[in-house]
Structure 1
Amino acid sequence: MKAKLDALDGEILTLLQGDGRMSNVDLSRKIGISPPATLERVKKLEQAGVINGYAALTNPQSLGLSCTSFVEVTLGRHGRAGVERFIADVTAMSEVLECHHITGDADFLLKVVSRDIPAYEDFVLRKLTALADVQHLKTLVVLSTLKQETRLPIPIESKDKE
């Protein structure tokens, strides 16, 4: 369900997406309302599921994780139990940062991080291809990242709509 956001909610979300550690007082100063009113709005956004949580964005290279790959996975069987089993198994793997059920030739698109190509190969051979129903993999290795954004564009409800 899409949340209806006013301009102040949009400002709050934009600011918190840029700095999730911003204090309530600083946030209230930037949006121009009192700290209690700001806190109430933030809590409503959290309760509505618009804000899912807060996280530290880490630099993979600084942690020795220099290989990012996107993997298209095609399953041999598409029954509900097999798909649910695959999702449960792959979402439990720490190397898998994202898992998307997609349309097209493949069934899933995974974003995988590893130390290097040999570590990625080990991940594929020991974990990914060991999963039941995995029929085909296609790997796209990232050479360089030109844009990586965590901030979503915030849609604001227009007051002109009837």
Structure 2
Amino acid sequence: MKLDAKDAKILNLVQLNNRLSKSEIGDEIGLTHSGVSRRLQRLHDRSVIFADVALVAPEAVGYPVRMNVSCSIERDRLDTYDRFVAALQADPMVVNADAVMGKSDFTFTVIARDMDAYLNLIERYRGAFPTLSSVTGLAVLRSVKRGLKIPVEPTSVFRPANR
């Protein structure tokens, strides 16, 4: 999908504040309420915008421990990889997960109430996936940058998001 300058401006605005009204967005970029509405609908329909969310500070709701984890998993059975992916997707303590290329097969971020809860999660995964190896956890000391804003420019061609 090609994005024009107005689409790019809309995307940049709603990434910073998705509670802006369509009129506020329109006033900012020179479109009517209905013009903004049509564009936002198209961006949703084409999965350029795939979620409208509020970002919550984990430590503010009782999860002061954050760990960035990398690991490898041997595919002893054909379904091992798919089962591991499903386990990561279903685990509420895993807030981000990616299949990666390199020394590891996966990287993921875990939030926990304390280190014991994190260690219990890792042991649970090791029990469920005996071929899980090279598990490395890096404790986050402090956030240097938080957010999910993607820089958007006009005339870029995008594929629909994988959800």
Distance 1:46 1:80 in 2: 35
> CA offset at residue 24 of structure 1?
1.1
Kindly provide the amino acid, as one letter, of the partner of residue 128 in structure 1. Y
Query: How much identity, in percent, do the aligned residues show?
Result: 27
Map of 1:8 onto structure 2: 6
Q: Provide closer, same or farther for how the CA distance between residues 78 and 33 of structure 1 changes in structure 2, counting only shifts above 3 A.
A: farther
State whether structure 2 residue 132 is matched by structure 1 residue 130: no
SS in 2 for 1:94: coil
Deviations 1:41-79 (CA, angstroms, capped at 9, x unpaired):
110111111000200111111101111111111112266
Distance 2:134 2:125 in 1: 10
SS in 1 for 2:18: coil
5+ residue gaps in structure 2? 157-163
Map of 1:93 onto structure 2: 91
Distance 1:60 1:46 in 2: 27
4+ aligned runs moved over 6 Å, structure 1: none
Instruction: Tell me the matched-pair count.
Output: 155
Q: Is the 8 A contact 2:67 2:140 kept in 1?
A: yes
The TM-score, its normalising length taken from structure 1, stands at 0.89
Deviations 1:134-157 (CA, angstroms, capped at 9, x unpaired):
233111111111112211011321
Distance 1:140 1:152 in 2: 25
Aligned ranges 1:3-152 → 2 under 5 Å: 3-77=1-75, 80-125=78-123, 127-132=124-129, 133-152=131-150
Distance 1:20 1:79 in 2: 43
Distance 2:44 2:78 in 1: 32
The TM-score, its normalising length taken from structure 2, stands at 0.89
Report the RMSD for the aligned CA atoms in angstroms: 1.5
Kindly provide the amino acid, as one letter, of the partner of residue 81 in structure 2. V
Q: Is the 8 A contact 2:5 2:153 kept in 1?
A: no
Kindly provide the amino acid, as one letter, of the partner of residue 106 in structure 1. S
Distance 2:98 2:109 in 1: 9
Distance 1:136 1:154 in 2: 36
> CA offset at residue 80 of structure 1?
4.4
Distance 1:101 1:42 in 2: 30
Kindly provide the amino acid, as one letter, of the partner of residue 129 in structure 1. R
5+ residue gaps in structure 1? none
Map of 2:161 onto structure 1: none
> CA offset at residue 84 of structure 1?
0.7
Q: Provide closer, same or farther for how the CA distance between residues 78 and 107 of structure 1 changes in structure 2, counting only shifts above 3 A.
A: farther
